[in-house]
Structure 1
Amino acid sequence: MIIEQLTFTRYIAALTVVFFHYGTTVFPANLAWVNPVLAAGPIAVSYFYVLSGFIMAIAYYRPDKSQQAFDMRRYWWARVARIYPVYLLALLLMIAAKFQSAGSEPLTVALSLSMLQAWIPSYPLTLNSPGWSLSVEAFFYLCFPLLILLVKRYHLVHLTIAAGLLWFVTQIGHTLLLNTEAYTPRGLLHDVIFYHPLMHLNTFIIGFIAGAWLQMGKLQRLSSPGLNVSGLVLVLAFIIMMLITRQPIIDSTGIAFDYTNGLIAPLFLLFIVLLALNTGKISQFLQHKWLVLLGEASFSLYILQKPLHGIYEKLMPVGIEADGALHFYIFIMLLTISALFSYWFFEAPLRRLINNFVNRAP
């Protein structure tokens, strides 16, 4: 199944992360009603997780029971080839930058190299802070063969109910912990709530379950042009409304809640499914080769943003810092160009090299 129309959405989601880190005070992100959408970076990570589960189900799950056995060796090498080369490049750049100042604690380096930093409170954002989400993604990869086994052995309806319950329990637990007296911003409990892999597993699983349903051909009714387009517009509008109204609702109720652990992941999922099934002009536009290329380069953009921002600040022309907007948008352009070059000459070639080596004939 060709779903290239989803690829560019990764670039848009990655840009919101960059806005969240470096551009919250520049126009138009400095407008009160635009900021929750344009700088929704932490929430966009939930979108990545839902999309990841969905795409991996499309790539690996086959309802036909006569399919070949799941090849664990090829699967693991494909996962390593997909994320680790660029992840390691960004990490080495950050280690080099730290070494020039005070150096890095050995445990910090070891946890980041092994992609375990998200499991240990106070360590998720050390060194290359966006890497915490890859630590979580690595856990999803570990769980994925089990999900394939479960979906083959048990009825998909039962697994869907289980996934829904996991999502519900996660949201209740997240909200309760967020409203306890023990919670403090940036404290140990904060790290558990926002970065621990188990707190995000629900988003990946619901994406996987939806992808499995799609592979079984059970969602085709959503491809009807009228229903599909109107559904996309309504879901996108509802997501934007949820982002804009979140803080006013918190202020009026006094109850803290967040979207980062998948509270609006079902909306993301519905958007992904509808877009995957779209065969009209929206899909044709998003399948343009340059938009697909930007989506493919979005991983490099996401994981390299911090080291490249540090390099850019050191090389920045004198006086440009006086105009924060100019400074930020020049960085966005250079970051995008760097991500494209990373994809062309580093990420994709190394991925092909690793996969070709593993898949070569005996």
Structure 2
Amino acid sequence: MPSTDDRLSPLTEVRNPVSSVTTVKRPPHLKALTSIRALAALYVGFYHMVRPFELWGRFGGFWGAGYTAVSFFFFLSGFILVYTHGVEFVSGRGDVKRFLVARFARVYPLYLLVTSIAGILSYKTIFHPKYHVIAYIAQMFMLQSWHIRLTPFFNIVAWSLSEEAFFYFCFPFIAPRLQPNSLRHGILLLAGCCVLALIPGMIAMHLDPARAWHEVAVSNRGPVVYVVRRFPPLMLPQFLCGIVAGWIYLQRPISDGFAKVALAVGSVVMVTALLFADHLPFVLLHNGLLIPCYVLILYGLARPNIVSNVLSWSPFVLAGEASYAFYLTHFMFNDWAAWVFHWPMTIAGLVPRLLVLLPLSLLLHLYVERPGRRWVMKWWDARAARLQAA
């Protein structure tokens, strides 16, 4: 990293400078960071759609660690939100209500459709009717992760959207307070957030070592490990790591040379760790053990190089944009396909699933997610204009 001065640039000198008294200029689109979401979504998809992991042979440990992609999504979310909205909230120009509505418009239209379908497909459930109804209501309002008995119902992967909703509400109030005033301060903040992310997992390893070290079936997970992996406030530090890393990136110029080294080192260390994931504590991997690798990889992809240029190709960017639809539908579709078509959860069974899921995800993105977002924001802006006129 260049510069011998440890002080970070002031607010008006960051890469998304204030363009006027009332307007914050948007930073350039980091296309590679959009595309990388597609790879992360496929990783968690393969994790759910091929069982047992021994089918992958010597790579069973790698593909059996697909759950770590969710931790990456939490980190990436914090990074991107600071990159796009951090300056406006620090400068006092941020509109909290409009920010939250924009986040709602981004995730909820498609979430509502998929959750509605999940309710229809799960009408005859093996779970107790009392929790069936309560869990469905909680899932509709993205509250299922707040209680251990409400999470494993319907579209189970939607638990992470419950976490994200909590993160969105926290962001406008937390992000300005995490802006570091020096590189040293930023590194210390980042290290502190990493430690906070891992402490609950360490406690779980002490209280329930067998389940904390090894992934087990949902029915065999103890309450301690389950809460550590789901309760939103315990997931928040992973999001905070992304926020701090985003601030450092905005305020500390990164050279192209450093970015290449960071990408190479972060990728090698992460892949090595994932290859030996079955020898590492499950609950720590799930809760952010790889965050230092995520920092290096994102810094590397945020600058021009061979890898980031390839990932900036339009089809890859579109795949990244459609990754939310893929993530939200793959688990439910996997169960439905196994029930209706008896497709095996093998490597060969991935082929028909992906032949349906990939185009389906693209269609949902283009004809549900995007129009839903535009409709919600159009309604909100029209409402704001009416109130202003009144």
TM-score normalized with structure 2 length: 0.81
Within 2, Cα distance between the matches of 1:309 and 1:247?
A: 24
Please tell me whether the aligned partners of residues 163 and 202 of structure 1 are also in contact (alpha carbons under 8 angstroms): no
1:202 aligned partner, one-letter code: P
Given the superposition, is the C-alpha separation of residues 33 and 7 from structure 1 closer, same or farther in structure 2, using an over 3 Å criterion?
farther
Within 2, Cα distance between the matches of 1:239 and 1:58?
A: 24
Question: How far off is 1:101 after superposition?
Answer: 5.0
Count of aligned residue pairs for this structure pair: 345
2:121 aligned partner, one-letter code: A
Moved more, 238-247 or 131-140: 238-247
Alignment partner of 1:122 is 2:149: yes
> Counterpart of 1:126 in 2: which secondary structure?
coil
Alignment partner of 1:33 is 2:52: no
Given the superposition, is the C-alpha separation of residues 233 and 183 from structure 1 closer, same or farther in structure 2, using an over 3 Å criterion?
closer
Moved more, 53-62 or 181-190: 181-190
Within 2, Cα distance between the matches of 1:78 and 1:180?
A: 41
1:219 to 253, 274, 287: 253
Please tell me whether the aligned partners of residues 225 and 283 of structure 2 are also in contact (alpha carbons under 8 angstroms): no
Within 1, Cα distance between the matches of 2:223 and 2:67?
A: 18
Within 2, Cα distance between the matches of 1:315 and 1:42?
A: 26
Alignment partner of 1:148 is 2:170: no
Given the superposition, is the C-alpha separation of residues 116 and 160 from structure 1 closer, same or farther in structure 2, using an over 3 Å criterion?
farther
Give the unaligned 5+ runs of structure 1: 251-255
Please tell me whether the aligned partners of residues 91 and 128 of structure 1 are also in contact (alpha carbons under 8 angstroms): yes
Q: Which residue of 2 aligns with 1:288?
A: 313
Please tell me whether the aligned partners of residues 82 and 246 of structure 2 are also in contact (alpha carbons under 8 angstroms): yes
2:82 aligned partner, one-letter code: A
Q: Which residue of 2 aligns with 1:74?
A: 98
Please tell me whether the aligned partners of residues 80 and 246 of structure 2 are also in contact (alpha carbons under 8 angstroms): yes
Given the superposition, is the C-alpha separation of residues 219 and 126 from structure 1 closer, same or farther in structure 2, using an over 3 Å criterion?
farther
Within 2, Cα distance between the matches of 1:229 and 1:155?
A: 26
Alignment partner of 1:348 is 2:374: no
2:163 to 136, 140, 145: 136
Within 2, Cα distance between the matches of 1:72 and 1:145?
A: 6
> Counterpart of 1:62 in 2: which secondary structure?
helix
> Counterpart of 1:2 in 2: which secondary structure?
coil
Q: Which residue of 2 aligns with 1:201?
A: 236
Alignment partner of 1:242 is 2:277: no
Given the superposition, is the C-alpha separation of residues 33 and 314 from structure 1 closer, same or farther in structure 2, using an over 3 Å criterion?
closer
Within 1, Cα distance between the matches of 2:208 and 2:375?
A: 51
1:242 aligned partner, one-letter code: A
Question: How far off is 1:107 after superposition?
Answer: 1.1
Question: How far off is 1:170 after superposition?
Answer: 3.2
Within 2, Cα distance between the matches of 1:194 and 1:64?
A: 30
Q: Which residue of 1 aligns with 2:45?
A: 18
Percent of matched pairs sharing the same residue: 24
> Counterpart of 1:61 in 2: which secondary structure?
helix
Within 1, Cα distance between the matches of 2:136 and 2:280?
A: 40
Question: How far off is 1:193 after superposition?
Answer: 1.3
1:229 to 257, 260, 263: 260
TM-score normalized with structure 1 length: 0.86
Given the superposition, is the C-alpha separation of residues 230 and 191 from structure 1 closer, same or farther in structure 2, using an over 3 Å criterion?
same
Alignment partner of 1:266 is 2:266: no
Question: How far off is 1:139 after superposition?
Answer: 1.0
Over aligned residues, Cα RMSD in angstroms? 2.6
